[in-house]
A and B are shown apart, each in its own frame.
Chain A
Amino acid sequence: MAEQQNDKRGAGKVQPVPEQDFSDYAGLMVIVEQRAGVAKKVSWQLLGEAKRMADKINAPVYALVMGHNVRHLADEAISRGADKVYLCDSPVLEQYRTRPYSRVSLDVIRTYKPEIVLVGATYTGRDLAGAIATHLPTGLTADCTQLDVDENRVLHASRPAFSEKMLATILCKQYKPQMATARPGVFLELAADSTRKGEVVSVSSPMSEAEVVTEVLDFLELTDRINMEDHEVIVAGGKGLGNAEGFKLLQELADALGGVVGASRAVVDMKWIDHDHQVGQTGSTVRAKLYFAIGISGAVQHVVGMQNCDVIVAINNDPEAPIFKVSHYGIVGDLYNVVPAIIKAVKEKRGLPFAANTANG
């Protein structure tokens, strides 16, 4: 089980695998991602999806929690649907680095043999999953937006292909575990339930600090770097705004609704707003409760990123704009005429104060 440790750099070179019998692999495992003891939402979203699939095939759900001082995340994982949590709490895991994290993951996967392993398709998740799958070795499907499991316990991992124009379902039948990374904001988490019972199994890190050559010197938190997936109300603007100034108006509407400003790629390309705000194929996939698309035509690459929002409102002066086809409420009109009126109406309804100088008031 344990790997050859003849290489001091860590996970070591990928070893050739003999023909393997995978019949003792069972259960679904989610690798929980965290920073400074706070779990990324996608981890719980994947646990929710894993639980749904596990119920279908009557299999257990596992979580793998790695970090330093992260015991509370093991409990949280149980409350979010895990039956068993493998917990590796070690100073060497204080910050994410590929080798120590992949070594722990490999040990746990090889020892406890989950049949399916899911990882969030974040920067860190993709870094880790790529390394683990190569070492195991096994197949890895990237960036999934739909997951399912059939009666033969084969994972059907579906992902967009060719600029989101198509979806492709990918299988990995001959190797175990079957692995996939899945996009944040697509799957539904279970509500935390502290009465759920589960087991926590502690595992140790096979690597010590002295063996790790990579150092994280600093983390520059960008507070203005916004995570669109985290927000419940998004007021998105497109080229129809006409200029970067237009976002001030949208910000005012977002403030009135307790939300944040989003954008189409067209306006990000013109540098009216930062890329972090971009929704769509090459931006974020969001599942907000309320989404405004203002001056956005509704190109398929934008729509794929927002079509799963609960309530969608489109404002566009072109009655033929495709965005109306995916919207619950459509308003045909000039945004500079309509939006200030909506801001006013929302503020009145919510009893919010009016700014002295409302844009285009």
Chain B
Amino acid sequence: MHIVVCVKQVPDSREIRIDPNTNTLVRQGVPAIVNYYDLHGLEEALRFKDEQGAEVTVISMGPPSADKALKQCVSMGADRAILISDRAFAGADTLATSYVVSKTVEKVAQEFGPVDVVFCGKQTLDGDTGQVGPGVACRLDYEQLTYVEKVVEINDQAKTITVHRHLEDGVEVVKTKMPVLITALSELNKPRRASLPGVINASRYKPIVWTTNDFADLDRAKIGLKGSPTIVSKTWVPEPRKIDTKMIASGEAAAIASELVAALWSTELPTRLGW
């Protein structure tokens, strides 16, 4: 069993502020982290490795500094980490990213053995689309199971997998054949902390780095900015809606309540809501 986990190093978007004077993003000092959901994919792969044995390869497309994210994955227990890094990949949208990631999975399969399961996160904190997972699955012609909150069974003999998919109104129990791409929700598990030997191992580990030249058949028209159909035409900070707030005078609770009720009943609400 060979499992590939796709991870992305992202700025911790919670820490990003807007400069009120220039209305631009302040990225300085914002820590880079492994995308939160991707760690849930990794944890699921590692659990399977612990229970039934598997080889876990982690891949990431990003700048050289993303090797830190990969080392973190190795410290948790991944067997191998590959950084796909090249200036030519810069500016990729989800279509171009899924192309490079899928090419990487193919190459990983050629060099290190056939892949049974690929994990992606539900979405990234920065791109925030959840489109790369389905994109990779389509390009590899794998079955895709998105928004998985529980892996019920992986049958390595029959090469089948059964999961719970999270939907707005319930849970879908779905069974499919490998190879399969799964996108992970945080409900899936609780990612482990790295063990001390893991940390020591990772500190010595050097991720494999692949550039465009390492791929035999990469179509240059499909990567980076050139391979990206979408363009950001503008960004702006939304104006808050202008509202005249009517403050209801403080005083006795009963007086406040009847004033509010009178105010609500003077609008169209009671008719529109059928009160």
Contact = CB atoms under 8 A, between A and B. Distances in A.
Given A173-B231, A215-B176, A332-B247, A139 B95 contact: yes
Given A167-B238, A170-B232, A329-B246, 4 more contacts: A166-B25, A311-B264, A330-B248, A331-B248
Given A139-B95, A166-B235, A168-B232, A11 B138 contact: yes
B267 interface: yes
Contacts, number: 249
Contacts of A171: 230-231, 233
Interface string B226-247: 0011111111111011011111
Nearest to A154: B233
B245 A214 contact: no
Q: Is the interface of A mostly helix, strand, loop or mixed?
A: mixed
Interface in A155-198: 156, 161-163, 165-175
A16 interface: yes
B247 A222 contact: no
Contacts of B229: 137-139, 172, 174-175
Interface in A198-246: 213-222, 225, 227, 232-233
Interface in B134-168: 134-135, 137-141, 143-147, 162, 165-168
B169 A35 contact: yes
A326 interface: yes
Given A7-B141, A123-B168, A168-B235, A329 B146 contact: no
Contacts of B93: 139
B213 to A, nearest CB: 21
Interface stretch (B48-56, B68-76, B191-199, B252-260): B252-260
A225 B18 contact: no
A324 B245 contact: yes
B232 A131 contact: no
Question: Which of A99, A163, A227, A289 has its CB near the most chain B CB atoms (within 10 A)?
Answer: A163
Contacts of A16: 219
A270 interface: no
B250 A346 contact: no
Q: Which 9 A-B pairs have the closest CB atoms?
A: A130-B134, A139-B229, A341-B257, A139-B230, A142-B129, A341-B253, A345-B257, A218-B173, A134-B138
A342 B257 contact: yes
Interface residues of A, number: 89
Given A126-B146, A220-B170, A290-B273, A313 B260 contact: yes
B260 A123 contact: no
Contact of A289 (B174, B234, B273): B273
Contacts of A340: 253
A220 B17 CA distance: 41
B230 A140 contact: yes
Interface string B67-97: 0000000000000000000000000011100
Contacts of B174: 214-217
A350 interface: yes
Contact of B177 (A213, A257, A332): A213
A344 interface: yes
Contacts of A313: 260, 264
Contacts of A257: 273, 275
A308 B240 CA distance: 11
Contact of B146 (A35, A127, A169, A215): A127
A251 to B, nearest CB: 18
Contacts of A170: 230-233
B246 A123 contact: no
B169 A328 contact: no
Nearest to A352: B275
Nearest to B175: A215
Nearest to A227: B168
A349 interface: yes
A98 interface: yes
A213 B246 contact: no
Question: Which of A14, A220, A337 has its CB near the most chain B CB atoms (within 10 A)?
Answer: A14
A338 B140 CA distance: 59
24 contacts: A9-B143, A127-B147, A130-B130, A130-B133, A134-B138, A141-B230, A162-B13, A166-B18, A166-B235, A168-B234, A170-B233, A171-B231, A172-B230, A217-B174, A219-B171, A222-B170, A258-B274, A324-B247, A325-B240, A329-B248, A332-B247, A341-B257, A342-B256, A345-B254
